[in-house]
Amino acid sequence: MKTLKNWQFKQQDNDCIELLVDDKYNFCIYVLEQKLFRVLIKRNNQLSLDRTWSIAPTQDTPIEGRDRLSTEGFSLPVYQLSKSDDKIIISTEQLRVTVTQPLTLTWEYKNASDEWELLVADRGTGAYLLNAHGDGIAHYQRRYKDEQYYGLGEKAGDLNRAGRRFEMRNLDAMGYNAKDTDPLYKHIPFTITRRNEVSFGLFYDNLSCCWLDLGKELDNYHLSYRRYQAEAGDIDYYLFVGPKVLDVTKSFVQLTGKTFFGPKWSLGYSGSTMHYTDAPNAQEQLQEFIKLCKEHGIPCDSFQLSSGYTSIGNKRYVFNWNYDKVPQPKVLSKAFHDNGFRLAANIKPCLLQDHPKYQEAAAQGLFIKDSESDNPERSVFWDDEGSHLDFTNPKAFNWWKTNVTKQLLEMGIDSTWNDNNEYEVWDGEARCYGFGKEIPIKHIRPVMPLLMCRSSMEAQQKFAPTIRPYLISRSGCAGMQRYVQTWSGDNRTSWQTLRYNTRMGVGMSLSGLYNVGHDVGGFSGNKPDPELFVRWVQNGIMHPRFTIHSWNDDKTVNEPWMYPEITPIIRDTICLRYELLPYFYNLLWQAHNDDEPMLRPTFLDHEHDVNTFAETDDFLIGKDILVASVVEQGQRERTVYLPDNETGWYCFHTHQWFTGKQSITLPAPLETLPLLVRAGSIIPTAKRMAYVNHKEDNYREFRVFPAKGVAKTTGSFFEDDGESYGYQKDQALWIDWKMSSTNERIDLTLKVKGKYVPAWKELAITLPKDEKRPIYINNKVMDKVALQTLK
């Protein structure tokens, strides 16, 4: 590849400064926000791809993609420019970049002392490389001592990515090793870099397969560097300063689009297994699941139909009902609905060559085309060959919507599970319709699952326009959070997977995918033993997505009642999840409304405590609950580090109070998941329920965990009917609270707004067991407060 070297100033606009490099490359620096710049290189003033589906600062992109040159949705602040023949400085109040010869960018930020300080710089011995005669690009930056790297979406291994190399190439990584398998399912070339107590984000808006080297490679001719390299496309990156890691993550979500606000029932337990729908009497086995949930007292809100319901022989055919296995789909869905369950159905975007609808789709031109003919491309898929639908063709987009509606929604299916959508089409020149402007698949492979989900969502929204849809997707790219909940794919049963899936989930959360989870118990491999299963369920209930799903190699099924001797523990654990549903639902609201991550590494809220940056099995769910999962066989006590804060921590179970900035050891018998609660917080809880039903959800408790001594804290709580868009018209309940404490008393001030009237009419207020101070609610001593009096 050719190294870009010599530049000259070309022009200045209100949002962009343009340089001409080596007489043929247009080098554009956009000033989008005070803390957000963008760098874009055009070959001969042309782009490899003229649109993006990831950048959505204020609203969703058009279905055909957003004009890549658009700056709509950004504030475009006034900037200062100074220039000479060999140097240009562009600055806002918070960020500045200096361009020097040969082409090198040096970035600085305004620190707390109001002084400019180095953030990062390009590698001076060659920073921007392009293949002059075809595809291929690279960008090199300096790598500094003690830098920490986070992000990259769904990646195996430790949370800190330093010293490793990663690839973005969406694969169906069945049975992956959660410690070291790479690549995996998703494409998110976004990193958070932290050094010297400042953090910045770097997002490459390029959908081609790519590699990010974060310190694995060394070269004697260069100072230490990091590298981004892609097989095709443009160098197009966004750089933004935090200064905190949390600021970077939230800024990335604000850049790529808000988290979709799904229904409350999507946070309940969701059952699933390949075994039921693969069985010849699938409908009978599925209905037996309802009976067994009731028999064992297991709360459950939904069931995910694996693809066996579509089978002909041993292969899968999307939108085909196997009426031998499921003779009466509408009867099946009614049975689930009558018992409070919703159904999600697995769908796949590739039609096998002998699919009943293949010729129909081919005749309409709905498939991606071969690179050398107008025939559909053919790729390996599910033990055969098939052709992938081209969602950049409006005909295919609408064909999918129609089939989702007629084959699923009209059959009583409530939700779409968009699966096996990695688009492993390895003929990079295979041709996509591109909404009228043909695009090789190598430029947009991860966009296909994004558009697949969007088509599924539009079908659900049209079919039930007053109900918030719920969708699941395994694959996608930055921006997929606008449509779906996701998970870490087909993991393998082991203690190691339990440990590293947690890091994987937290990594996704730092990368803007807040609504995530894992296949609890492991998808592939042999069944988990009783101890591993208990610990995995305990871990799983503290993730936004909680699903037990399996396709075990030994033909067993992961079910809550799979081991009678531990079924009471599993039941109590799942019931705990339902008690905490008001807390989880509030987190989902904050994720959507405030861009707050749900899963959080402990350092996210405690950066001042350097100890929180150590690799750990601990994580926060929301700001207030610290989860100390047991991930080692035979462990019956758990050492956990309590981050330094001003108020300390309570044991959730015993209410014992601890100061922060210390390690403590808690008992962890098999039936107990060690949890801690931040002092000064309130945890909203409900009674144990069989499933989410806002009409019967008639109890709400505020578990108050006050600080010791003098302190003040604040928070908020959201409630609505859990499924409609009423909150957009004030049909919701918002409770803002302030808590202050002294050595003598605790004062809680509650303010309520919104028109929604819940089934619960009063708030029960509880304190830790040994708390002796009285609590005053809006200046009155009480342990219950009528909701009506707060309005």
134: pLDDT strictly greater than 80 = no
Which residues 6+ apart lie within 8 Å of 284 measured at CB? Answer: none
The alpha carbon of residue 92 and the mean position of all alpha carbons in its chain are separated, in whole angstroms, by 31
What's the mean per-residue pLDDT of the chain? 97
> What pLDDT shows up at residue 95?
98
Say if 762 falls within a structural domain. Answer: yes
> What pLDDT shows up at residue 40?
98
- Supply the CATH number for residue 23's domain: 2.60.40.1760
Task: Give residue-wise pLDDT tens across range 195-225.
Answer: 998 999 999 999 999 999 999 999 999 999 9
Q: Where do the H-state alpha helices sit in 414-562?
A: 447-463, 495-510, 530-540
> What pLDDT shows up at residue 245?
98
The alpha carbon of residue 502 and the mean position of all alpha carbons in its chain are separated, in whole angstroms, by 13
Q: Residue range 292-297: average pLDDT?
A: 98
Q: Which two tokens stand for residue 520?
A: 């609890």
Cβ–Cβ under 8 Å, residues 661 and 644: yes
Task: Give residue-wise pLDDT tens across range 749-779.
Answer: 999 999 999 999 999 999 999 999 999 999 9
DSSP code of 404?
I
> What pLDDT shows up at residue 788?
84
383: pLDDT strictly greater than 90 = no
- Supply the CATH number for residue 705's domain: 2.60.40
SS3 228: strand
Q: Can you tell me the distance from the alpha carbon of 427 to that of 377, in angstroms, rounded to the nearest whole number? A: 8
Tell which of 256, 278, 298 closes a domain: 256
SS3 584: helix
Q: Which residues is 562 bridged to in the sheet?
A: none
791: pLDDT strictly greater than 80 = no
Say if 139 falls within a structural domain. Answer: yes
133: pLDDT strictly greater than 80 = no
Say if 556 falls within a structural domain. Answer: no
DSSP E strands in 585-732: the ranges are: 599-600, 619-621, 625-627, 637-642, 649-651, 657-658, 662-667, 675-678, 681-685, 700-705, 711-719
Tell which of 199, 223, 256 closes a domain: 256
161: pLDDT strictly greater than 90 = yes
Count how many domains the chain has. Answer: 2
Query: Which DSSP string corresponds to 24-66?
Result: TEEEEEEEEETTEEEEEEEETTB-S--EESS--SSSPPPTT-E
Tell which of 201, 228, 256 closes a domain: 256
Nearest to 309 by CA among 298, 325, 294, 295: 325
Q: Which two tokens stand for residue 215?
A: 């310190």
Say if 520 falls within a structural domain. Answer: no
Structural domain boundaries, residue 232: 2-152+188-256
Nearest to 686 by CA among 676, 694, 678: 694
Q: Residue range 476-483: average pLDDT?
A: 98
Say if 729 falls within a structural domain. Answer: yes
Say if 726 falls within a structural domain. Answer: yes
Q: Where do the H-state alpha helices sit in 257-324?
A: 274-278, 282-296
> Residue holding tokens 């549903």?
581
Sheet holding 657-658, edge to edge: 599-600, 619-621, 625-627, 675-678, 649-651, 657-658
Sheet holding 87-91, edge to edge: 80-83, 87-91, 95-100, 104-110, 116-121
106: pLDDT strictly greater than 90 = yes
Which of 107-116, 133-142, 424-433 has the weakest average pLDDT?
A: 133-142
> What pLDDT shows up at residue 693?
97
> What pLDDT shows up at residue 85?
83
Query: Which DSSP string corresponds to 331-389?
Result: HHHHHHHHTT-EEEEEE-SEEETT-TTHHHHHHTT-BPBPSSSSSBP-EEETTEEEEEB
96: pLDDT strictly greater than 80 = yes
Cα–Cα distances (Å) from 596 to 10, 61, 75, 508, in that order, read 41, 22, 22, 13
Nearest to 675 by CA among 712, 629, 610: 629
Say if 56 falls within a structural domain. Answer: yes
Indicate the pLDDT class of residue 105, thresholds 50, 70 and 90.
very high
Query: Which DSSP string corresponds to 18-35?
Result: EEEETTTEEEEEEEEETT
DSSP code of 492?
B
Q: Can you tell me the distance from the alpha carbon of 388 to that of 518, in angstroms, rounded to the nearest whole number? A: 26
3-state secondary structure 154-221: CCCCCCCCCCCEEEECCCCCCCECCCCCCCCCEECCEEEEEECCEEEEEEECCCCCEEEECCCCCCCC
Q: Which residues is 200 bridged to in the sheet?
A: 193, 241
Say if 439 falls within a structural domain. Answer: no
Task: At 172, give phi and psi (nearest 5°).
Answer: -85, 85
> What pLDDT shows up at residue 135?
85
Nearest to 440 by CA among 372, 359, 385: 372
> What pLDDT shows up at residue 790?
84
